[in-house]
Structure 1
Amino acid sequence: MSRTRRAVLATTAAVGIGGVAGCLGNGGPPDAPVNGDSDADVTVTIYEDFSCPYCQTFKLQVYPDLESQYIEPGEIRYEHRDFPNPVNEKWSWEVASAAREVFEDTGNDAFWTFASDIYEHLGSYTYDVIEEVANDAGADGGAVREAAEEEQHRSVIEDNKSHGESNDVAGTPAVFVDGEQVEFYESDDFVMMALEQTTTAIENALE
């Protein structure tokens, strides 16, 4: 996938290494959907916008390798946080709200299924699609649809975004390994670059 310098700066401005700058107030960020061993020594956090094409590419083409190499063996704790840029003023917030409803109502497994499968429809999101994907993930599709339509979880999503901003997140996808932001750079092959940079950071943290 070819990426222009403008795309790198404007769409995936999560470039450079940034340390954790703190939490929201005294209570910290909202609970995050977690995959892998919740007690693993290494935590990988990704900030995503469900309307971002680079987030779609990361989830569908990079995440499966991370899942097989590190998540399924229990070597890392992998957590999702919403960060609507927003790429799309409507769906960036509404799909995130739908995903949050899946997580809060049905749990982690259903969330990760929904969060991957919904990306297959990026560019053609509808409430019917959200409901269908939610049902297929084992959630209550009607309730998830309503959560999207009414943006029921917007305040939680805004808290996640604020937490990301406090950690110098400026665009998506932004990946952190144990609080250090993974450096993504301009590349003609985003998948190869993102996988290489992320796995290198994970391997260094596991040493």
Structure 2
Amino acid sequence: MSKKSQNFERLEREQRQAQMRIITTIGIVILAVIVLAVVQSIRSSAPKQLDLVGQPTLGSADARVSVIVFEDFKCPVCKMFDSNIFPVIEEKYVNTGKVQVGFRNFMVIAPNGDSKTAAVAGECVYNQNKDLFFPFAHLMYRAQGDENTVWATKERILEVAGYVPGINRDDLGKCIDENRYEKEVMNDQSVGSSAGVNGTPSVFVNGVKVSNPLDEATMMKAIDDALAKAQ
């Protein structure tokens, strides 16, 4: 074999080896991406450790299933959930002792504006009288203005609170002015972010996020499945 032929074969061999190294590297990268995606999927679907200590709740503390809702009082979709889905959960599961519902703040519309004002006001009401939080929250959604306007002002909130017997509006006004429970609101925000909340309403049933909480069938199935597992 001529020296020229030997050199040609050597070049071909080196090219094949280089191609194999490239293919191997690409394969490793693809495998790493797949593994990372699987790990992230497992993490996102794994139940989150969410407790209701110090949070507004409705229903028995001994209920087998907890439903935790992250909401923004300015969020129009949250209003839909509160009007259409919440009453069904309350009637079918809360009133029968099967489910305890908990509320946490998660500001998305105006986190540095009146979403925070409304969230702080909710905490103020809760700390005045725990039993008055949900009546106040339901009325806040009924009184909800356009999400693009600054409607959740102190004056408007006090007006809404006037329709909830038992709320001390003078103290509520001072509480809002002092931003008294901002720390609690921001803690809710942090808890939500850590749990993967990026929009509202976000609903967790026994720590598992519900894919479409506005769909009644999906929401009820999530609760029924959790109840079956908890037996």
TM-score of the pair, normalised by structure 2: 0.71
Q: Distance in 1 between matches of 2:69 and 2:77?
A: 12
Distance 1:155 1:112 in 2: 20
- Of 86, 89, 100, the residue aligned with 2:123 is 100
Q: 1:143 aligned to 171, 194, 209, which one?
A: 171
Residue segments in structure 2 that go unaligned for 5+ positions in a row: 1-43, 146-150
CA RMSD between the two structures: 2.2
Deviation at 1:131, TM superposition (A): 1.3
C-alpha deviation, 1:22, in angstroms: 5.0
Residue 19 (structure 1) shift? 3.1
Q: 1:35-74: CA deviations, max 9, x gaps? A: 0111111010000011111011111221111111111111
Question: Whole-Å Cα distance in 2 between the matches of residues 19 and 150 of structure 1?
Answer: 39
Q: Say which one has the larger Rg.
A: 2
Residue 37 of structure 1 aligns with an amino acid whose one-letter code is: S
Matched with 1:122 is 144
Segment of structure 1 superposing worse, 197-206 or 139-148: 139-148
Structure with the higher fraction of residues in helix conformation: 2
Separation (CA, whole Å) in 2 of partners of 1:202 and 1:67: 12
Verify the 8 A CA contact 1:49 1:82 in the aligned structure 2.
yes
Structure 1 unaligned residues grouped into runs of 5+: 1-16, 185-189
Give yes or no for the alignment of 1:111 onto 2:133: yes
Letter in 1 for 2:70: Y
The structural deviation recorded for 1:98 is 0.6
2:48, 2:207 within 8 Å by CA — same for their partners in 1? Answer: no
Higher relative contact order (CA 8 A, sep 6+): 1
The TM-score, its normalising length taken from structure 1, stands at: 0.79
Question: Match of 1:199?
Answer: 220
**Aligned residue in 2 for 1:67:** 90
- Which whole-Å CA distance do the structure 2 matches of 1:89 and 1:101 have between them? 18
2:117–2:152 CA contact under 8 A, matched in 1 = no
- Displacement after TM superposition at 1:143 (Å): 1.7
Aligned partner letter, 1:110:
L
Deviation at 1:21, TM superposition (A): 4.8
Alignment deviations for residues 104-158 of structure 1 (CA, whole Å, 9 cap, x no partner): 1111x20010011011121143323311322332211122223233322111110
Q: Which residue of 2 aligns with 1:85?
A: 108
Corresponding residue for residue 31 of structure 2: none
Post-superposition Cα deviations, 1:15-36, rounded to whole Å, max 9, x if no partner, equal xx6434557xxxx786111101
Provide the residue aligned with 1:162 in structure 2. 190
Match of 2:35 in 1: none
Identity %: 29
Q: 2:159 aligns with which of 121, 132, 137?
A: 132
1:36–1:72 Cα contact (<8 Å) kept: yes
